[in-house]
């Protein structure tokens, strides 16, 4: 965590200026947002996939082939789902999450698109959140796409069924091989089309379709402001790239954005 050079004040000012002058600002966030909330990246040291193995690339097809079996495997004491739930139950939003909530409350940030499934942006109080890879605290109907709080769904008979339409329920988190739920995908594409500035924090944005969103904004002449501990493939496209963790850079950036408002 010490390889980031000290933040240049000029860069912070420049980034704040770009955000302030934009008409429609959105954010795209990823795993780097959550590290300081105690959630290791899936593939990082201590990560869920590092410990339990990568989920199968055809996970969704395997789920559809035998939903009861898939639920049993995921819920087993050695399975990844219980560990994810335990990790998330202990996690709290960090100053980076809270800074984005503040930016939304000030009327600057219009929509926050996240690849994280940890619910921390909502827990921090951000209201307009599009969770492109789903939310691990929710269960979704594969038929009517209604979502339910996990605690409200009984798991004594597997697979659980939708109380509205009777179809199978699965975790709202998007499995490999599963299409992004159409309501969320439409929202993300729509927001990216409106935006003239995108704040990309804690993600190298290499997973499609999330990866396409900042490129769309940039391609239409919008500004990309990056916050990341490391250089990424987006760095050359960014108007400003701020090196550091989301938990340290975002509060400093938001403070400058809001201080300069008239």
Q: Judged by CB under 5 A, which of 59, 125, 143, 209 binds Zn ion?
A: 143
- In a 10 Å sphere around its CB, with 0-12 CB exposed, 13-18 middle and 19+ buried, how is residue 13 labelled? middle
CB-CB contact of 4 with 231 (8 Å): no
Asked if 162 interacts with Zn ion (CB under 5 A), we say: yes
**What minimum distance in Å lies between the beta carbon of 168 and Zn ion?**
9
Residue 139, strand partner residues: 148, 171
Asked if 144 interacts with Zn ion (CB under 5 A), we say: yes
Q: Judged by CB under 5 A, which of 54, 66, 164, 183 binds Zn ion?
A: 164
Give the closest residue to 262 by CA, choosing from 17, 58, 61: 17
Distance CA 84, CA 87 (A): 5
Q: Which is nearer to Zn ion, 25 or 162 (CB)?
A: 162
Q: Which of residues 166-185 bind Zn ion (CB under 5 A)?
A: 167
For tokens 């307009």, name the residue. Answer: 128
Would you name the residues annotated as active-site residues? 133
Asked if 141 interacts with Zn ion (CB under 5 A), we say: yes
**What minimum distance in Å lies between the beta carbon of 145 and Zn ion?**
7
Residue 32's alpha-carbon distances to 42, 103, 127, 156, 238, in angstroms, are: 11, 19, 20, 35, 18
**What minimum distance in Å lies between the beta carbon of 181 and Zn ion?**
12
Tokens of 209: 């379709």
Q: Judged by CB under 5 A, which of 90, 165, 186, 189 binds Zn ion?
A: 165
**What minimum distance in Å lies between the beta carbon of 172 and Zn ion?**
13
Which residues contribute to the site for Zn ion (CB under 5 A)?
Answer: 141, 143-144, 162, 164-165, 167
């Amino acid at each position: 965590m010490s390889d980031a050079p000290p933040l240049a004040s000029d860069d912070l000012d420049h980034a704040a200026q770009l955000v302030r002058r934009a008409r429609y600002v959105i954010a795209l966030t990823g795993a780097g947002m959550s590290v300081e909330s105690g959630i290791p990246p899936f593939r990082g040291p201590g990560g869920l996939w590092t410990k339990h193995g990568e989920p199968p690339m055809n996970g969704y097809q395997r789920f559809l082939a035998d939903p009861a079996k898939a639920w049993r495997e995921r819920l087993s004491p050695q399975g990844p789902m219980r560990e994810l739930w335990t990790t998330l139950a202990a996690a709290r939003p960090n100053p980076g999450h809270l800074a984005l909530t503040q930016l939304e409350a000030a009327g600057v940030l219009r929509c926050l698109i996240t690849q994280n499934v940890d619910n921390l942006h909502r827990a921090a109080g951000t209201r307009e959140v599009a969770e492109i890879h789903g939310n691990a605290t929710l269960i979704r109907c594969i038929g009517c796409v209604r979502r339910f709080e996990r605690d409200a769904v009984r798991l004594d008979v597997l697979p659980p069924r939708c109380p509205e339409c009777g179809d199978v329920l699965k975790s709202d988190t998007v499995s490999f091989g599963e299409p992004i739920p159409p309501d969320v995908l439409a929202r993300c594409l729509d927001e990216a089309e409106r935006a003239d500035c995108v704040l990309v924090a804690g993600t190298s944005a290499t997973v499609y379709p999330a990866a396409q969103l900042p490129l769309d904004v940039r391609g239409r002449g919008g500004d990309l402001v990056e916050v990341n501990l490391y250089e990424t493939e987006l760095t050359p496209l960014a108007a400003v790239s701020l090196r550091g963790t989301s938990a340290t850079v975002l509060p400093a950036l938001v403070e400058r954005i809001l201080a300069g408002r008239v």
